[in-house]
Amino acid sequence: MKFTINNTDNNTNARAGCIETSHGEIQTPVFMPVGTQGTVKAVHQKELKQEINADIILSNTYHLYLRPGVEIIEKAGGIHKFINWNSNILTDSGGYQVYSLASRRKITDNGVEFKSHIDGSSHLFTPEKVIDIQRSIGADIIMAFDECPAYPCEFDYAKKSINLTHKWLDRCIKRFDSTDDKYGYKQFLFPIVQGSTYKDLRIQSAEYIANTNSFGNAIGGLSVGEPAEEMYAMNEVVCEVLPKDKPRYLMGVGTPINLLENIALGIDMFDCVMPTRNARNGMLFTSKGTINIKNNKWKDNFSAIDDDEITYVDKEYSKAYLRHLFSVNEILAKQIASIHNLGFYSWLISESRKHIIDGDFLNWKNKMVKVLNKRL
């Protein structure tokens, strides 16, 4: 992996760069559409490539392990061949999904025992097993196994949690270094900073992660219910500690405003289900504000979905038609809205990059934040 910073903003910590892997270049900042189970819901790979211009997508170790299973993915020749995606893929370790199974899991020093949300069967994830699974899946970037504490949590629990995460990280690195790539291209392991909303713990964790000298570094355990200002405060202190010459990945974030504010803090990579999940519920993000397309006010609005025409659906269909599709529960409604929202996120990130390069990112960001707060 090669990471090059091409431009830095004079008024913020934003930077524009490029990550290079065996599956191509990733222009940063970057938003990664989430394809949890090997698919970005309601969106074809062709649309991801040609309309949304995705350099990288995300999938999930926990879900792929349960279905279709590691054996099937190995038989296919790895995740890229299985889903017919020739660009970059990142897999989350499954730590967050296990965290979300609070009533179905037991955490020990060895790992996490959990029951499948599908059939109740029992499983054990250890750091070693998670690395082995991700080796078999074959994503370009794989994540260390971590514990994600709930918000809010007591200081003592958060401290125990980062100590466990660091122990698991050491085991992940040892396993990663002692195993080979399976499909003829290099994989890269990212560790994850934890620490809840305690600055001293975040700094302690960031220092530990920085000392591993990994290819890139992630920040986890945020956007789990804490106020946005606390998220920004945590990322600010962490970005001051993490090495500047490595990509920084903020996991599971977030709203368009969250993206802009965190880019300003020095974050390079993002993922979130928000654009597709909200799309399936009729919420559209645009450069002029947010639209609830299910509202009655759009029933006879025959203007294009989005005048900016970022993707083909924006000019192909009217707001009235899209509202109608939602009102009769047509699957096409979710497809159109998902392509639109992912296209908008891609556009927003691309514009951020342009303004970082042009040197006026801060002024542009502040104007955009005001606009993005509007409900149309």
The number of residues making up the chain comes to: 376
**What is the pLDDT tens value at each position of the chain, 376 positions in all?**
999 999 999 999 999 999 999 999 999 999 999 999 999 999 999 999 999 999 999 999 999 999 999 999 999 999 999 999 999 999 999 877 776 777 788 899 999 998 988 999 999 999 999 999 999 999 999 999 999 988 999 999 999 999 999 999 999 999 999 999 999 999 999 999 999 999 999 999 999 999 999 999 999 999 999 999 999 999 999 999 999 999 999 999 999 999 999 999 999 999 999 999 999 999 999 999 999 999 999 999 999 999 999 999 999 999 999 999 999 999 999 999 999 999 999 999 999 999 999 999 999 999 999 999 999 9
CATH 3.20.20.105 residue ranges of the chain are 2-272
Strand (E) or helix (H) holding 273: none
Query: CA nearest 275: which of 41, 79, 70, 118?
Result: 41
By CB atoms closer than 10 A (0-12, 13-18, 19+), residue 91 is buried
Q: How many CB atoms lie within 10 A of CB 150?
A: 15
| Partners of 141 in beta bridges | 90, 188
CB 355 within 8 A of CB 321: no
Q: How far apart are CA 9 and CA 27, in angstroms?
A: 16
| Partners of 188 in beta bridges | 141
Q: How far apart are CA 334 and CA 280, in angstroms?
A: 5
Q: How far apart are CA 62 and CA 125, in angstroms?
A: 9
Q: Does the global pTM surpass 0.85?
A: yes
Q: Which residues are catalytic?
A: 92, 271
Q: How far is CA 116 from CA 106, 110, 148, in A?
A: 13, 19, 18
The CATH superfamily assigned to 2-272 is Queuine tRNA-ribosyltransferase-like (3.20.20.105)
Identify the residue whose tokens are 């392991």: 189
Beta carbons within 8 Å of 167's beta carbon, 6+ residues apart: 109
